[in-house]
Amino acid sequence: MLGSMRRYMRVGLIHFMAYPDTMKGGGPVYETIRKIALDDYFDAIEITWIRDPDTRNQVKKLLDTAGMTVAYGSQPRLLTTGLNINDLSETGRAAAVQTLKEGIDEAYEMGAVGLAFLSGKYEEEKKEEAFRALLESTRELCAYAKSKGGLRIVHEIFDYDIDKKSLVGPADLAKRYAQEMRKDFDNFGLMVDLSHLPLIRETALQSIYPIREYLVHAHIGNCVVKDPGLPGYGDSHPRFGFPGGENDVDELTEFLRVLLNCGFLNDKNPPIVSFEVKPFGDEDPDAVIANAKRTLNEAWSRLQMR
């Protein structure tokens, strides 16, 4: 009997996905973060840039008061601006690194334990050049973070040919990347996302086991990939049970089983496992969050019966 999931993970929510009006650093940031802070289902929260300094101060005080673990998602700094940290143009690459360094500064300001990012688009015939650019950028980020404290730098694995079309990418390339980075930086790690597995055509076992020693963070969610004509197609993170979606209770149960068996979920140092769910159309964000909590509760219950 496993007992409570709280023994093995810190359950989190990606704030800026659940409330997408805040993704560009503005909107109802404080009000929506407060909803999460008041919900004791969540041990952790993932925030992104907050452009207004006063709002940042208010949010920092709120999260400190609530006793939540904070992680920083810098993906919007890249995805909403078109910046690419493996850009073969040095000017473009440097601009991407600079915004992520600013994200590192903000992550420290907010008391975050880690900063997540993603690699950018690439041309197949110049893939090795893009990979070298990615390594150069990541080394700069890890060195910068290490010079200021203990913030972990985390690369999230995305799809490589459907939606985000990121360089990393499938498990074998993610493993190569992590091996190179860990030679010099112990503050680097990888993040796996259940939502992305169908997009990269890997099972939980195929995606997780090759990178298990580098895995430091996980996301759980859904995607639509069967048909480009379906609503929500691609990396849109719809709720569990969304029409045409790939992931629901069964898939989440298997994902958790693999994470548990490989030692990622553990009772010595429980990692953050966050929902990445986004309202589709006019769906109520709070109902989408409630759906996610019910799905995880059911998946954990089934896991205990195996």
* pLDDT-based confidence at residue 167 (cuts at 50, 70, 90): very high
* pLDDT-based confidence at residue 304 (cuts at 50, 70, 90): confident
Mean pLDDT of the chain: 97
Q: Which residues of 263-283 are buried (b: 16+ CB within 10 A; e: fewer)?
A: ebbeeeebbbbbbbbbbbeee
Range of the domain at 142: 5-305
Q: Does the pLDDT value for residue 127 go beyond 70?
A: yes
Specify the pLDDT at position 306. Answer: 64
Q: What is the pTM of this model?
A: 0.96
Q: Name the domain count of the chain.
A: 1
Q: Does the pLDDT value for residue 53 go beyond 90?
A: yes
Is-contact 210 172, C-beta < 8 A? yes
Specify the pLDDT at position 294. Answer: 98
Question: 194, exposed or middle or buried, with CB in 10 Å at 0-12, 13-18, 19+?
Answer: buried
CATH number, domain of 92, equals 3.20.20.150
* pLDDT-based confidence at residue 11 (cuts at 50, 70, 90): very high
Q: pLDDT digit string (tens) for 61-110?
A: 999 999 999 999 999 999 999 999 999 999 999 999 999 999 999 999 99
Q: pLDDT digit string (tens) for 272-288?
A: 999 999 999 999 999 99
Specify the pLDDT at position 104. Answer: 98
Cross-strand bridge partners of residue 193: 219
Structure tokens belonging to residue 228: 């480009």
Rounded Cα gap, residues 201 and 218, in angstroms? 18
| Average pLDDT estimate for 2-29 | 96
Specify the pLDDT at position 260. Answer: 97
| Average pLDDT estimate for 168-173 | 93
Q: pLDDT digit string (tens) for 215-256?
A: 999 999 999 999 999 999 999 999 999 999 999 999 999 999
